[in-house]
Copies of this chain bind each other. A is one copy, B any other.
Amino acid sequence: MTNPCPENDWIAVDWGTSNLRVWVMRGTAIVERLDADQGMGSIAPKDFEPVLLSLISPFLGPHKTPVVICGMAGSRQGWAEAPYTSVPCGPPGLRHAVRVATKDPRLSVSILPGIKQDAPADVMRGEETQILGYLAKNPDFSGVICLPGTHSKWAQISDGKIEHFRTFMTGELFALLSKSSILRFSVGSDVDVDAFETAVSDMIRRPEDFNADLFGLRAGTLIGDLSGDEAMGRLSGLMVGCELAGARAYWQNQNVALIGASQIVKLYARALATQGVTADIASGEDSVLAGLSAAQHSLEDQI
């Protein structure tokens, strides 16, 4: 089927540090979903256009096609720097985007900025577009959005604005500890759920025990009867619990939404449930696409 209205075609791109996800769009409908492992961390600025073209060339018509990008492609080491907007602010749309000159005349590339906070110093790039997507679907949402991951974000939302936010290195710490520390000899492949929940509660009650409790996993499998899966559950629980202890002001007596990949948001939902908090859950991929779509349509509407 030929597209009767090619000027409505556009390309949505989530370009992170490790991965690149592309959706070829017709309005809000997905024509094609593509991905590659050529994230910002592994390519040079001059490579962004050829990498993108290698994926989307077959979908380009004779006219200019808008390409809307979020994520680390807009960092200083990325394709082109899209300077941060500052909290309090709404998640940035195309009005705040950086337009990038391309060699290929068929491309009209815009990169959405990230958000910064001066005190305490904090930054995000990519998550703000997931928040934009969540708010597009839930326009009356007020409360806190948590985006678990390598660098988990907790953002306080009111009246469609991000008031303030805080980042936790939970995912990166977990990867280092489970794969590169002495604990790699102790952890199994599955998360024992009881051990996870106990460790979450332990951390919220006594966050100062984080460091010693980590070594306790090694000792527990060496001289105790801690199984590999229990150690894995407990390590996950210590990590998430350490984050929840620091983010207490964000979830206590708050309306909480979790955005991310299915497995990790389920784990965070379980951790929050130990504290009596029930969170709304949304897919990270759906949210980022909804956010890119909201940004693209906000320009079309000249809002």
Contacts and interface: CB of A to CB of B under 8 A. Distances in A.
Interface of A: 84, 116-118, 120-123, 151, 166-170, 172-173, 176-177, 180-182, 207-212, 214-216, 218-220, 222-224, 226, 242-243, 245-248
Contacts of A120: 212, 216, 219
24 contacts: A116-B223, A120-B212, A120-B216, A121-B220, A121-B222, A122-B215, A123-B218, A167-B215, A167-B219, A169-B182, A169-B211, A169-B215, A173-B177, A173-B211, A176-B176, A176-B180, A176-B181, A208-B246, A208-B248, A210-B210, A210-B246, A211-B246, A212-B246, A212-B247
Contacts of A177: 173, 176
Contact of A169 (B172, B214, B245): B214
Contact of A121 (B172, B209, B226, B243): B226
Given A176-B181, A215-B151, A118 B224 contact: yes
A303 B11 CA distance: 81
A125 to B, nearest CB: 10
Contacts of A214: 169, 173
Given A123-B222, A151-B182, A169-B211, 17 more contacts: A84-B223, A118-B224, A120-B216, A121-B222, A122-B215, A123-B219, A167-B215, A169-B181, A169-B214, A169-B215, A172-B182, A173-B211, A176-B176, A176-B180, A208-B248, A209-B246, A210-B246
Nearest to A119: B224
Contacts of A210: 207, 210, 242, 246
A208 B116 CA distance: 22
Contacts of A226: 121
